[in-house]
């Protein structure tokens, strides 16, 4: 029976990265990225379409107090970023949370998170490509250039005919026999362009990203300055019109604006000094983007009442609402910035996925061709092309509104494992020092090195703090949940009948309660570090908010992935011969 929890040592990973890739084609990757480039990549991934759309709905729910949510989420993400930074400094290779889990938990967990990340990047990128298409066609319409409606949306949206544009697309689309030719051509074309940039080299990707980030940040600065002249402080009262509950209603949308540091970590092998530069870039991008989001939220809620912001293009709307001679011009600038911002998000995340394919292939879990590096461009050539096809072709035809939230589940799942990995490694170091006075542990009769990192997550003893947090959470839950514990464990519907649907919706929260209780007990026994525990708990709770249906789809995806692992990867893993 294969040991599916076999782990890789950091030294082994670094040697493999230095020796070659997969089938031997190509050499190492170009190390051209510095702190500034990595920071720009983080900003490119974080300041995306959300700042032009979802911030409006979040402001509508929370009022001016939405800035508290941005600050809270930035702190919560900071816990995860600290854990990512320690791993990135410890294991400076491509692979992100996949490679980190291989070191901390073992092969099968690494496969699960790698498979999860592939879903996260693929579905997320398809959604971003479709979003870019919407912004781009709207911008062209502003210049009087109209692309036929049947070339700007998917077949199913047109068939539903739920909007005037969809009706026109369905009526005017050419037919091939009984099949109407309807597709989202701009979404496909932007994917092709971005894939080509990534394929020809990291330098070209870096220059493109830097240029787009500089341009969109300049535009955002102009919008902030212009908007500041129209701010009326009276609009900031009341500050919390819907209470804390209204602010927290936007938690999921706001949280996922901050996940760019995951993509940064996939470029570790193309950094000049990854152990120093990756942690700096993660925190730089997180701080800069938090400031930008808070300022944008203050300007939006200061220019108009929060009650008017429940729409998809809040930045353009607030300037049109001012009824001044420059309103249309500024709205056009916002539209240009939205196109640039969305393209930069697509570029960074499209850059990350091939490097995860490459890392999994290099470990033997996928065929060798996935880790082939182009001899001239020094990029993972086959994986980059495959990623372009996986994203571009579905973007032509699919409406992914139902499954877009899978990206959220995948991201949070990665964050949970990374934070849990740091907890595990910290406990291993403590055990090693206690038993041997050195960084060595004995596991199953074998000695192995406990990996060290140049960047360390700060240690704050959570022995008493985490159990007290759990006790406080239980008290507040009983006090404020309708009906208390009895109300929560009431699984009857409005008709008084116990139904699976009611039970199903409460299962994630019940599981979180058990996880929180277990973490509190283990923190007391093992004196767990507070920072990774807080990251672990925050992300675990947000997983509950992701929706039961998304969890069910996610589990189906994992079952498919595990089937592939046991049919192919477990036997061909490069560690298989060492442990059997």
539-548 confidence digits (pLDDT tens): 888 788 766 7
pLDDT computed for residue 300 by the predictor: 87
pLDDT at 225 over 70: yes
> Considering the entire predicted model, what is its pTM?
0.82
Which range, of 43-47, 510-514, 523-527, 532-536, averages the lowest pLDDT? 43-47
pLDDT at 120 over 70: yes
Residue predicted with more confidence, 219 or 465: 465
Instruction: Give the number of other Cβ atoms within 10 Å of residue 157's Cβ.
Output: 21
Which range, of 146-160, 270-284, 494-508, averages the lowest pLDDT? 494-508
Cα(367)–Cα(249) distance, integer angstroms: 44
Among 93, 74, 564, residue whose Cα is nearest residue 290:
74
| pLDDT, tens only, 59-94 | 888 888 888 888 888 887 888 888 888 888 888 887
Calculate the average pLDDT of the chain. Answer: 81
| pLDDT, tens only, 417-459 | 889 989 988 887 777 666 655 444 444 444 445 666 778 888 8
Percent of the chain with pLDDT over 70: 87
pLDDT at 210 over 60: yes
Cα(401)–Cα(190) distance, integer angstroms: 20
Mean pLDDT calculated for residue range 224-247: 85
Cα(256)–Cα(251) distance, integer angstroms: 9
Quote the distance between the C-alpha of residue 286 and its chain's center: 13
Q: Which domains does the chain have, with CATH numbers?
A: 10-178+181-397 (1.20.1740.10)
Secondary structure of residue 429 in the 3-state scheme:
helix
| pLDDT, tens only, 348-382 | 888 888 888 888 888 888 888 988 888 888 888 89
pLDDT confidence tier of residue 2, bands split at 50, 70 and 90: low
pLDDT confidence tier of residue 470, bands split at 50, 70 and 90: very high
Cα(456)–Cα(87) distance, integer angstroms: 9
Instruction: Give the contacts of 29 (CB within 8 A, at least 6 positions apart).
Output: 94, 202, 269, 270, 373, 378, 379
Q: Is 472 exposed, middle or buried (0-12, 13-18, 19+ CB in 10 A)?
A: exposed
Cα(510)–Cα(546) distance, integer angstroms: 14
pLDDT computed for residue 406 by the predictor: 59
Residue predicted with more confidence, 505 or 350: 350
pLDDT computed for residue 240 by the predictor: 86
Backbone torsion region of residue 483, taken as left when φ is above 0, otherwise alpha when ψ lies between -120 and 50, otherwise beta = left
Residue predicted with more confidence, 520 or 204: 520
pLDDT computed for residue 230 by the predictor: 86
Taking 3-state DSSP, the helix, strand and coil percentages for the chain, each rounded to the nearest 5, stand at 70, 5, 25
The answer to whether 364 and 208 have CB atoms below 8 angstroms apart is no
Question: 440-443 and 175-176: which strand pairing?
Answer: unpaired
């Amino acid at each position: 029976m294969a040991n599916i929890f076999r782990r890789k040592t950091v030294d082994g990973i670094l040697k493999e990265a230095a020796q070659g890739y997969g089938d031997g084609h190509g050499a190492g990757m170009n190390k051209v990225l510095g702190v500034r480039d990595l920071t720009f990549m983080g900003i490119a991934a974080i300041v995306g379409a959300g700042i032009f759309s979802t911030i409006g709905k979040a402001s509508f729910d929370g009022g001016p107090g939405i800035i508290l949510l941005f600050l809270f989420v930035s702190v919560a993400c900071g816990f995860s970023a600290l854990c990512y930074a320690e791993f990135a400094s410890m294991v400076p290779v491509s692979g992100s949370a996949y490679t980190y889990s291989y070191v901390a938990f073992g092969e099968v967990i690494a496969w699960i998170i790698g498979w999860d990340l592939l879903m996260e990047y693929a579905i997320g990128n398809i959604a971003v490509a479709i979003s870019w298409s919407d912004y781009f066609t709207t911008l062209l319409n502003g210049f009087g250039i109209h692309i036929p409606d049947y070339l700007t949306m998917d077949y199913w949206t047109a068939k539903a005919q739920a909007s005037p544009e969809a009706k026109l697309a369905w009526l005017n689309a050419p037919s091939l026999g009984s099949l109407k030719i309807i597709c989202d051509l701009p979404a496909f074309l932007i994917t092709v362009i971005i894939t080509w940039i990534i394929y020809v080299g990291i330098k070209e990707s870096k220059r493109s990203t830097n240029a787009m980030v500089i341009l969109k940040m300049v535009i955002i600065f102009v919008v902030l300055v212009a908007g500041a002249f129209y701010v009326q402080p009276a609009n900031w009262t009341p500050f919390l019109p819907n209470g804390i509950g209204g602010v927290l209603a936007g938690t999921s949308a706001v949280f996922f604006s901050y996940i760019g540091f995951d993509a940064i970590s996939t470029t570790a092998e193309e950094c000049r000094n990854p152990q120093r530069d990756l942690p700096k870039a993660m925190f730089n991008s997180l701080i800069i983007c938090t400031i930008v989001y808070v300022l944008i939220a203050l300007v939006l809620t200061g220019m108009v009442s929060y009650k008017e912001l429940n729409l998809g293009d809040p930045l353009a709307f607030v300037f049109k609402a001012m009824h001044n001679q420059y309103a249309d011009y500024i709205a056009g600038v916002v539209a240009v910035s939205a196109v640039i911002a969305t393209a930069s998000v697509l570029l960074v995340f499209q850059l990350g996925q091939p490097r995860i394919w490459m890392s999994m292939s290099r470990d033997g879990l996928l065929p060798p061709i996935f880790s082939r590096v182009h001899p001239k461009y020094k990029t993972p050539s086959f994986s980059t092309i495959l990623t372009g096809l996986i994203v571009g072709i579905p973007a032509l035809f699919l409406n992914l509104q139902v499954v877009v939230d899978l990206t959220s589940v995948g991201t949070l799942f990665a964050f949970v494992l990374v934070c849990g990995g740091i907890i595990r490694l910290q406990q291993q170091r403590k055990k090693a020092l206690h038993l041997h006075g050195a960084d060595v542990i004995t596991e199953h009769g074998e000695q192995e090195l406990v990996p060290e990192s140049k960047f360390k997550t700060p240690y704050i003893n959570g022995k008493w703090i985490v159990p007290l947090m759990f006790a406080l959470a239980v008290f507040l839950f009983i006090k404020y949940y309708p009906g208390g514990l009895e109300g929560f464990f009431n699984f009857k519907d409005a008709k008084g009948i116990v139904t699976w649907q009611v039970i199903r919706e409460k299962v994630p929260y019940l599981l979180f309660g058990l996880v929180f209780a277990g973490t509190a007990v283990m923190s007391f026994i093992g004196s767990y570090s507070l920072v990774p525990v807080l990251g672990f708990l925050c992300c675990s709770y947000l997983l509950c908010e992701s929706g039961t249906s998304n969890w069910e789809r996610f589990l189906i995806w994992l079952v498919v992935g595990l089937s592939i692992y046991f049919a192919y990867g477990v036997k061909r893993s490069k560690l298989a011969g060492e442990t059997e």
